[in-house]
């Protein structure tokens, strides 16, 4: 049975080039990059190359790239570390209520520790309300956390405008961005965004799981959360996952160097799907206009998402009902958008990649029609 994979926002299939690089680093350049002998030095050089590759892709200096084990780790370090660094100054934290749990949960934890937090809802279409964010930031606000691309509906935040508005209100604010769904899919430079930190992840861009990175602007200080040796400037101590890191660095250049071609391909596929899905009676579009073409969220209000997901999977078509980390719970994103309950329960997230083909859309549309008639 042919496989049609449309759950790329959850994870991507590891690219063969990335897999070969990881294999090489596990079997040939396998030494600990902190070891002082020649083999360790060779492994460290490969680590330096990967750091430079990530820095080029992010538009920053290599010294501003900290390797971690995941996007979740990067969000936790960026949020908790910056908040604790500034907590002595008082002030509160502003975030967006529809962010990924790896950003929401650390903020809620800080709230449980006595810090004042304000989680703002999105506009009804799922986009960010810049005016509301600016109004929520006060002179003593110490941290603003924002997602770049929403992991469920694909809305793209105007980060540059948000950061300008926030810094006009608070001079000492730290701005952290969850860029996991944006990296490689939205064109940006960390410099022009005017942010202090950003989380990204390897397995969202065809690199192996188990590797993420934190962009930390030069001069931005965060409190150390983990303790051990001095790897990654002590921010994320421990032996680096060199195989995954080197694969991550390589794929960052592949997706960014070929951004326009890849984006055009995904846009064409997504537009074709939206046009054809809109012609199916009862299908509702949940992704707002201007959302990334990599994520398209729809609802079939009369059919719960889980049986439809299983129906499609039995036919070799794989997608999800929302963020993989929600594990089937009612979507907080669609709930915050004010959608009715049956529409939320019938939500499906289709996430495309350049590996998808036009015929994948036709087969998905046909399967959806049969699924609706059957279920």
Domains of the chain, by residue range, sit at 4-13+259-374, 16-257
pLDDT of 327 higher than 70: no
In DSSP notation, 63-91 reads GGEEEES-HHHHHHHHHHHHHHHHGGG--
Give dist(CA 132, CA 112) in Å, integer.
Answer: 24
pLDDT at 323: 56
Give dist(CA 92, CA 95) in Å, integer.
Answer: 10
Contact 229, 29 (CB under 8 A): no
**Is 4-13+259-374's fold the same as 16-257's?**
no
pLDDT of 325 higher than 70: no
Confidence of residue 226 (pLDDT cuts 50, 70, 90): confident
Give dist(CA 283, CA 8) in Å, integer.
Answer: 22
pLDDT tens digits along 253-307: 999 999 999 999 999 999 999 999 999 998 999 999 999 999 999 999 889 999 9
Supply the mean pLDDT for the chain. Answer: 94
* DSSP reduced 3-state for 176: strand
Segment among 47-51, 70-74, 86-90, 137-141 with least mean pLDDT: 86-90
Question: Can you list the alpha helix ranges (DSSP code H) found in the chain?
Answer: 16-27, 38-58, 71-86, 101-112, 130-136, 159-169, 190-193, 242-257, 259-277, 305-313, 332-336, 341-345, 358-374
pLDDT of 247 higher than 90: yes
16-257 CATH, one of 3.40.640.10, 3.40.50.300, 3.40.1690.10, 3.40.50.2300 = 3.40.640.10
Q: What is the mean pLDDT of residues 336-365?
A: 95
Give dist(CA 321, CA 299) in Å, integer.
Answer: 9
Q: What is the mean pLDDT of residues 237-261?
A: 96
What is the CATH number assigned to the segment(s) 4-13+259-374?
3.90.1150.10
Q: What is the mean pLDDT of residues 228-234?
A: 88
Contact 147, 157 (CB under 8 A): yes
pLDDT of 25 higher than 70: yes
Q: How many CB atoms lie within 10 A of CB 175?
A: 26
Confidence of residue 91 (pLDDT cuts 50, 70, 90): confident
pLDDT at 326: 53
* DSSP reduced 3-state for 143: strand
Strand partners, 363: none
pLDDT at 153: 96
pLDDT at 171: 87
* DSSP reduced 3-state for 4: strand
Pairing relation of β-strands 284-285 and 295-299?
antiparallel
pLDDT at 202: 98
Backbone angles phi, psi at 174, to 5 degrees: -100, 130
pLDDT tens digits along 147-170: 999 999 999 999 999 999 999 999
Q: Which residue out of 116, 246, 284, 325 is catalytically annotated?
A: 325
pLDDT at 322: 67
Full-model pTM: 0.95
Give dist(CA 265, CA 234) in Å, integer.
Answer: 41
Give dist(CA 342, CA 264) in Å, integer.
Answer: 34
pLDDT tens digits along 44-62: 999 999 999 999 999 999 9
| 14 among known catalytic residues | no
């Amino acid at each position: 049975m042919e496989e049609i994979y449309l759950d790329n926002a959850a994870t991507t299939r590891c690219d063969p080039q990335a897999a070969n690089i990881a294999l090489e680093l596990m079997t040939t350049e396998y030494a600990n990059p902190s070891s002082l002998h020649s083999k360790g030095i060779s492994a460290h050089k490969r680590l330096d190359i990967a750091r430079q590759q990530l820095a080029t892709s992010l538009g920053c200096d290599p010294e501003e790239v900290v390797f971690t084990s995941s996007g979740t780790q990067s969000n936790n370090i960026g949020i908790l570390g910056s908040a604790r660094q500034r907590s002595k100054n008082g002030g509160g934290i502003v975030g967006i209520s529809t962010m990924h749990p790896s950003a929401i949960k650390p903020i809620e934890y800080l709230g449980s520790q006595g810090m004042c937090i304000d989680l703002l809802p999105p506009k009804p279409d799922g986009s960010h309300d810049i005016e509301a964010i600016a109004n929520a930031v006060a002179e003593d606000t110490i941290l603003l956390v924002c997602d770049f691309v929403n992991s469920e509906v694909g809305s793209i935040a105007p980060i540059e405008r948000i950061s300008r508005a926030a810094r006009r209100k608070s001079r000492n604010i730290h701005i952290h961005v969850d860029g996991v769904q944006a990296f490689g899919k939205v064109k940006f430079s960390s410099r022009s965004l005017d942010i202090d930190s950003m989380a990204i992840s390897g397995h969202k861009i065809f690199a192996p799981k188990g590797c993420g990175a934190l962009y930390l602007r030069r001069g931005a200080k965060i409190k150390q959360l983990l303790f051990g040796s001095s790897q990654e400037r002590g921010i994320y101590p421990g032996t680096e996952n060199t195989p995954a890191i080197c694969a991550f660095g390589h794929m960052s250049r592949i997706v960014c160097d070929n951004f326009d071609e890849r984006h055009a391909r995904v846009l064409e596929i997504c537009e074709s799907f939206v046009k054809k899905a809109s012609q199916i009676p009862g299908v509702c579009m949940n992704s707002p206009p201007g959302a990334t073409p990599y994520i398209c969220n729809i609802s079939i209000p009369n059919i719960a998402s889980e049986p439809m997901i299983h129906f499609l999977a039995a036919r070799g078509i794989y997608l999800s009902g929302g963020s993989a980390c929600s594990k089937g719970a009612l979507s907080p994103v669609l709930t915050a958008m004010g959608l009715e309950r049956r529409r939320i329960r019938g939500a499906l997230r289709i996430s495309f990649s350049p590996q998808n083909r036009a015929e994948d859309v036709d087969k998905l549309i046909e399967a959806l029609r049969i699924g609706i008639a059957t279920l």
